[in-house]
Amino acid sequence: MIKSAYLHIPFCHHICHYCDFNKVFLKNQPVDEYLQFMDMEMKHTLERFPPDHLETIFVGGGTPTALNEKQLAYLLDSVQRNFPVTQDMEYTFEANPGDLSLEKLHLLKEGGVNRLSFGVQSFNDELLKRIGRTHRKEDVIKSIEHARAAGFDNISVDLIYSLPDQTVEDFQDTLRTAFSLDMEHYSAYSLIIEPKTVFYNLMNKGKLPLPTEEEEVQMYDVLMNEMEKHGYQQYEISNFAKKGYESRHNITYWDNASYYGIGAGAHGYVDGVRLANHGPLKKYMDAISETGLGIKEEHTVTREERIEEEMFLGLRKTQGVSISGFERKFGADALHILQAPIDENIKKGLLEIQGDYIRLTRKGKFLGNEVFQAFIGAI
């Protein structure tokens, strides 16, 4: 059953120093044409893979809110025409603080969007400048005030820690400001230096002063402690929510469930097949002109790969991987066919079995990648 749809808007007013997502500068790009090709892709995708009951839509980027009002209205109408948008679904737009006028907010609300995800990253203006962000702390506060006034009652804020020259104390200050805004949801990720980014080039030149590994661990420890203290449940390694406000869309990924991927560079997973779209705009639009779809690659996931994904995606969730659910999916006992990596990580204190679930311990959350790696090629 296909539960979710991801739509990619690759346009940005400015490219952040750490970002490796598929994106292009907005200026002089064929934005209107691109949106028309997305509309065609939605139509042909649903013809090839009819939806059962769609539960979530997530529009990411890039910067979806970089679209002007006319373009935004076209996109929202396109989604409404192609997908079964309902009041009970979770419909999220990523937003850049400072990009959202009241008119855009009202367009989103009228178009069925009921959740916003703000890419804040930090509340330290100097750090924001250092990482290539164009907004400042005051822009975030105003954007959230405007979103509340427009009727949005489900808002998420993204944060990044272990930034260049960032201290534990600075991250604590960012968290204090974040909690003062009383959001429904927070995501917080440790900075990862990706190839083909400004930060990657600086790091290779020895010009990127990052916090030590010990300081990064301290920041994550502070994050978990402060979230718990302020009443936010950690339901995934990097995600925290008030009860009932967990990201249903992201849970689709961690449950290894099916989803559509629409747009340049988007990825989908349908009927056991992983789909990857062309990234460059021209190649993406040319592919749709020829076939109605933007697909560059299709990969049928083997049983062994599905099991690996079930473990390293499912273990990201605080709840963990259901033993009975694993048996229903694969007709096998996880504790038997994966005995070696499970036992090894239990001995290390990184995994535990709690009732029907295999899950990371608190110590395991700090070393999640090490645990996930143990399940690659384990069968």
Give pLDDT tens digits for 154-209. 999 999 999 999 999 999 999 999 999 999 999 999 998 888 777 778 888 888 88
What is the longest distance spanned by two Cα atoms in the chain? 58
Residues 317, 210 within the same domain: no
Q: What is the pLDDT of residues 275-301, one digit of tens each?
A: 999 999 999 999 999 999 999 999 999
Cα-only R_g, the chain: 21
* CA 179 to mean position of chain CA atoms: 21
Confirm if 4 and 56 have CB atoms less than 8 A apart.
Answer: yes
Is the pLDDT at 369 greater than 90? The verdict is yes
CATH of the domain at 149: 3.80.30.20
Residues 310, 237 within the same domain: no
Calculate mean pLDDT across residues 312-333: 97
Residue at 262 is within a domain: no
Residues 228, 368 within the same domain: no
Place of tokens 């995800």: 117
Confidence (pLDDT) at 73: 98
Residues 210, 309 within the same domain: no
Residue at 297 is within a domain: no
Residue 44 binned pLDDT confidence (cut-offs 50, 70, 90): very high
Confidence (pLDDT) at 208: 82
Confidence (pLDDT) at 98: 81
Confidence (pLDDT) at 99: 83
Residue at 277 is within a domain: no
Residues 53, 182 within the same domain: yes
Confidence (pLDDT) at 21: 65
HSE of 71 in the Cβ direction (CA atoms, 13 Å)?
18
Residues 44, 131 within the same domain: yes
Residues 182, 321 within the same domain: no
Residue 268, C-beta contacts closer than 8 angstroms, at least 6 positions apart: 6, 259, 260, 261, 262, 274, 275, 277
Residue 187, C-beta contacts closer than 8 angstroms, at least 6 positions apart: 117, 156, 157, 158, 159, 238, 239, 240, 247
CATH of the domain at 307: 1.10.10.920
Residue at 312 is within a domain: yes
What does the alpha-carbon distance between residue 258 and residue 167 come to, in Å, rounded to a whole number? Answer: 40
Residues 328, 245 within the same domain: no
Confirm if 235 and 217 have CB atoms less than 8 A apart.
Answer: no
Residue 123 binned pLDDT confidence (cut-offs 50, 70, 90): very high
Residue at 248 is within a domain: yes
Residues 236, 310 within the same domain: no
Residue at 98 is within a domain: yes
Residues 240, 317 within the same domain: no
Instruction: Select from 195, 219, 253 the last residue of a domain.
Output: 253
Confidence (pLDDT) at 23: 63
If one counts the domains in the chain, the total is: 2
Confidence (pLDDT) at 196: 79
Residues 122, 230 within the same domain: yes
What does the alpha-carbon distance between residue 209 and residue 268 come to, in Å, rounded to a whole number? Answer: 36
Q: Which domain holds residue 142?
A: 2-253
Residues 11, 93 within the same domain: yes
Residue at 105 is within a domain: yes
Q: What is the pLDDT of residues 124-154, one digit of tens each?
A: 999 999 888 888 999 999 999 999 999 999 9
How many beta carbons lie within 10 A of that of residue 54, not counting itself? 20
Residue at 279 is within a domain: no
Calculate mean pLDDT across residues 226-235: 98
